[in-house]
Amino acid sequence: MKNFESPNILNTDALLTEEELMIRNSVREFVSHEIMPHIADHYEKGYFPTELIPKLAELGTLGATIQGYGCAGVNYTSYGLIMQELERGDSGIRSFVSVQGALCMHPIDAFGTEEHKKKYLPKMASGELIGCFGLTEPDYGSNPGGMITRARKDGDSYILNGSKMWITNGGMAGVAIVWAKDDAGDIRGFIVDRDLPGFTVRNIEKKFSLKASVTSELIFEDCRVPASQMLNVKGLKGPFSCLNNARFGISWGVLGAAMACYDEALNYALTRIQFDKPIASFQLIQAKLANMVTEITKGQLLALQVGRLKDKGEAQPVHISMAKMNNVAKALEIARVARDILGASGITYEYQTGRHMLNLESVNTYEGTEDIHRLIIGHHITGIQAFR
Ligand code: TGC
Ligand code: FAD
């Protein structure tokens, strides 16, 4: 079977090293053989394919940028390419890997003790232990600083009370990174084992987006967590530094979904006959395809520049916001236009575009909505905070 080929009109592949291309191509092949044949069915049934977890681990995708502890230790650009390839399969698979690595393994690696790292990271890298990240609450989404979940000190423990909403991987996680305010009102992070009394999970069913992904509510009722499980970071910069990595991965990931939609629309347009001609021969269809491939190419360059800055330790939150905001919005636009080119066929599971389009609605909202990232950029360029 011929493998997927991504648009390379500007020879953007030449900007990647041999190792980066090799990593990209091996994940690409994995997606073609292991994800594509079944994903539409999984999506329709609302099933996350847990059977893929050991294979994703073997490929080195879990906590890929972490050095040691059984992790691959690749650079950020390679990490981005991994995300791009996985999201060509489905945003739900990329979400699983993002949350496991950027949102759960990263804070343990960055803010945990050596004991935490040895206890959790190898099992998370091998996929034996799944993590979730609880920041958002029912009444505090874009404004997580307002969170009401509390961690009250009691002897050698903290007592957690509150709930976290829309939590990816929640229902299958063995450990949760939970953010709560302590007695002083400071935001602190805790590594919370799933089997602690007072910690319950409720899955959110009946979604029309990210159906091949588990989304849950985490509920804490007098859940006693040993103080030794607290991470060594205080304030919103703790969760936000995890989001920096996850948002970066998303800015690459969505290019994969966009490439899949573009490829499908192009192939459909070349073979679909109307008015005695392939619809690809009409100027309006060509204009749509030309815009799609141009936006994908611009998105590649944007994500790559942020990747290179991250690899040099020079990436700022505003760079990541620009890439997340632009690339998700453009991928969503591309998916919607591809759906239009597919006509009625575009609403069926026989084609992947509709699935990507619905997934991208979530991706545009989570990890900071499109407008929140616009406001982060606005703050950077004007010096004026417009959130409040
Ligand atoms: P603000 O006053 O701006 O900042 C508070 C403190 O945080 C620091 N900070 C950062 N640190 C590191 N990285 C960043 N990107 C940072 N952004 C801010 C900042 O320096 C400050 O530090 P300090 O020491 O001075 O206290 O915070 P604010 O409360 O005004 O909020 C600003 C705003 C709106 C930008 C922020 O709240 C925001 O980004 N909201 C969006 C929330 C969000 O992204 N939630 C994501 C939840 S997780 C998720 O969606 C996972 S989906 C997973 C999947 O399935 O893939
Ligand atoms: P709101 O914050 O209520 O925003 C609603 C609308 O108001 C948006 O259009 C927003 O842009 C706009 N808005 C808000 N404030 C302003 C403002 N100041 N100025 C202008 N416009 C504004 N969270 C986690 O912690 N962990 C997870 O694993 C996780 N996974 C998720 C998985 C899925 C499938 C989804 C959909 C969400 C997930 N989330 C997770 C939650 C996600 O991060 C939030 O949904 C997101 O931050 C937005 O919050 P909200 O939904 O409460 O929307």
CATH of the domain at 185: 2.40.110.10
3-state helix, strand, coil in the chain (%, to 5): 55, 15, 30
Task: Please report whether residue 388 resides in a domain.
Answer: no
Q: Does residue 143 share a domain with residue 117?
A: no
Task: Please report whether residue 387 resides in a domain.
Answer: no
Residue 267: per-residue pLDDT = 98
Report, as an integer, the average pLDDT of 140-160.
98
Residue 122: per-residue pLDDT = 98
Confidence of residue 236 (pLDDT cuts 50, 70, 90): very high
Residue 346: per-residue pLDDT = 97
Q: Does residue 242 share a domain with residue 219?
A: no
**Cα–Cα distance between 133 and 107 in angstroms, integer?**
10
In the predicted structure, residue 57 carries a pLDDT above the cut 80: yes
The long-range contacts involving 354-358, CB below 8 angstroms and separated by at least 24 positions, are 355/39, 355/40, 355/43, 355/90, 356/90, 356/91, 356/257, 356/258, 356/260, 356/261, 357/261, 357/332, 358/208, 358/209, 358/211
Q: Does residue 272 share a domain with residue 189?
A: no
In the predicted structure, residue 1 carries a pLDDT above the cut 60: no
**Cα–Cα distance between 159 and 194 in angstroms, integer?**
15
Which of 167, 240, 375, 388 has most ligand 1 atoms within 8 Å of its beta carbon, as the pocket-test mutant? 240
Ligand 2 contact via 366 beta carbon (within 6 Å): yes
Find the ligand nearest to 210 CA.
2
The answer to whether residue 367 is catalytic is: yes
Range of the domain at 221: 131-234
Task: Please report whether residue 4 resides in a domain.
Answer: no
Task: Please report whether residue 225 resides in a domain.
Answer: yes
Report, as an integer, the average pLDDT of 107-112.
98
Q: Does residue 180 share a domain with residue 62?
A: no
Closest C-alpha to 335, from 354, 363, 351: 354
For residue 207, which amino acid is it?
A: K
Q: Does residue 178 share a domain with residue 283?
A: no
Residue 3: per-residue pLDDT = 81
% of the chain with per-residue pLDDT over 90: 99
The 10 Å Cβ neighbour count of residue 152 is: 14
Which of 210, 236, 247, 248 has most ligand 1 atoms within 8 Å of its beta carbon, as the pocket-test mutant? 236
Closest C-alpha to 211, from 47, 368, 366: 47
Residue 2: per-residue pLDDT = 67
Calculate the CA 29 to chain-centre distance.
Answer: 20
Report, as an integer, the average pLDDT of 147-156.
98
**Cα–Cα distance between 43 and 232 in angstroms, integer?**
38
- Give the angle 199-205-208 at the CA atoms, nearest 5°: 140
Single residue among 65, 93, 125 that ends a domain in this structure: 125
Single residue among 125, 144, 168 that ends a domain in this structure: 125
Residue 139: per-residue pLDDT = 98
Task: Please report whether residue 112 resides in a domain.
Answer: yes
Q: Are the C-beta atoms of residues 15 and 304 closer than 8 Å to each other?
A: yes
What pTM was estimated for this model as a whole? 0.98
CATH of the domain at 365: 1.20.140.10
Write out pLDDT tens, residues 274-284: 999 999 999 99
Q: Does residue 230 share a domain with residue 206?
A: yes
Q: Does residue 296 share a domain with residue 217?
A: no
Number of domains comprising the chain: 3
Task: Please report whether residue 6 resides in a domain.
Answer: no
Confidence of residue 210 (pLDDT cuts 50, 70, 90): very high
Q: Does residue 245 share a domain with residue 149?
A: no
Distances (CA, A) of 324 to 18, 19, 184, 283, 362: 26, 25, 33, 31, 13
- Give the angle 194-148-120 at the CA atoms, nearest 5°: 25
Q: Does residue 366 share a domain with residue 288?
A: yes
Q: Does residue 88 share a domain with residue 148?
A: no
Task: Please report whether residue 212 resides in a domain.
Answer: yes
Single residue among 234, 268, 288 that ends a domain in this structure: 234
Q: Does residue 299 share a domain with residue 266?
A: yes
Ligand 1 contact via 146 beta carbon (within 6 Å): no
Q: Are strands 215-226 and 157-168 parallel, antiparallel or unpaired?
A: antiparallel
Task: Please report whether residue 43 resides in a domain.
Answer: yes
